[in-house]
Structure 1
């Protein structure tokens, strides 16, 4: 039996679909247009972006309380984004395998201690994208192998400095904000080694 509180149970009727048409498709996403019926019974036109990869994010947390971040120019918002190492894992691949690959490729690190810490729906009003977040500890260097379209900068900064940038809107990538807050929460509730928790919580 689930230990979830009663308010977490579903309420009302689910959406239903009268017809569906794929209106765009490429190797990374597909866009489907639906003639749907809302939980209220009203007809509704709905578009959904389906992703062909799982989203992966990694918090590389060093023993001295620093984290390694990646900076790059992002296409969609035409901005420069500092964020945690992130990427995609093909559907059917273990998300942890994808996380290990992204950490090595983007910032040249391997970890002896991996912990799954968060699962997220990144924009569930219009996409089906699922993200998996991991904490990587006991880090050591390896060779980088960025994608041919990636021009990456790498910075190693105190955890508190990274968290402050995230929660004040200067590092707004959603996975980065959520995962840094999750690690701070872990430190607060005793889910990290005591010495590391002290460094994470330091101001």
Structure 2
């Protein structure tokens, strides 16, 4: 692929517009690649998106249902949450799986790293496959009212293909694992 091209954007000025414990929003005065002045808003995430696709010995996975406030929609997705940038992503994955499902796993494998909505954010997602599962007690956060469903993996795959699952981490994780199970 060769060397990456140089940045065609020129930043003239930047200012912080908003900040809370999860994100910050900055506005940048720029000269765009066409040579024209403009502005660019960037949402910086203070956490990584962490996803876990648990897969048991019978070929089933676990989906978490919850109401997603920004979308005003109830969604089904793999166990996922935020991991602080300074936290080891694998430790964050273990914590999220336990908190949301009560599951713990003996075997962990990183299967995917991706950027989410990279036109306006710097949010990065990291997804792990968890196997050798043991059931314990879940510990959801007070911002979570969760339902957990154990479903055959192929059912989760069909939910992705039909559009019943739209969460980007879940779609990416299920498709990556399906390719792996097909030997690709």
Determine which structure has the larger strand proportion and give its number: 2
Q: 1:44 aligns with which of 29, 38, 56?
A: 38
Which residue is 2:101 aligned to?
107
Residues 22 and 32 in structure 1, CA contact (< 8 A), matched pair in contact too? yes
**In structure 2, the residue corresponding to 1:162 is in which secondary structure?**
helix
Which residue is 2:71 aligned to?
77
Please, what TM-score do these two structures have when normalized by structure 1? 0.87
Structure 2's unaligned 5+ residue stretches are none
**In structure 1, the residue corresponding to 2:140 is in which secondary structure?**
coil
The whole-number CA distance in structure 2 between the counterparts of 1:37 and 1:111 is 49
The whole-number CA distance in structure 1 between the counterparts of 2:60 and 2:54 is 8
Q: CA deviation at 1:14?
A: 3.4
Which residue is 2:173 aligned to?
179
Residues 12 and 39 in structure 1, CA contact (< 8 A), matched pair in contact too? no
Which residue is 1:195 aligned to?
none
Q: CA deviation at 1:92?
A: 1.1
Which residue is 1:60 aligned to?
54
Alignment of 1:132-147 (within 5 A): 132-147=126-141
Deviations 1:176-195 (A, max 9, x none): 000000001111226xxxxx
**In structure 1, the residue corresponding to 2:170 is in which secondary structure?**
helix
Which residue is 2:159 aligned to?
165
Q: CA deviation at 1:9?
A: 4.3
Deviations 1:64-88 (A, max 9, x none): 0110010011100100000000000
Alignment of 1:122-133 (within 5 A): 122-133=116-127
The RMSD of aligned alpha carbons is 1.3
Q: CA deviation at 1:12?
A: 5.4
Q: 1:96 aligns with which of 64, 81, 90?
A: 90
**In structure 2, the residue corresponding to 1:165 is in which secondary structure?**
helix
The yes-or-no answer on 1:151 pairing with 2:151 is no
Please, what TM-score do these two structures have when normalized by structure 2? 0.96
Change (3 A) 1:156 1:23: same
Residues 16 and 36 in structure 1, CA contact (< 8 A), matched pair in contact too? yes
Q: After TM superposition, where is structure 1 displaced by more than 4 Å over at least 4 residues in a row?
A: none
The yes-or-no answer on 1:86 pairing with 2:80 is yes
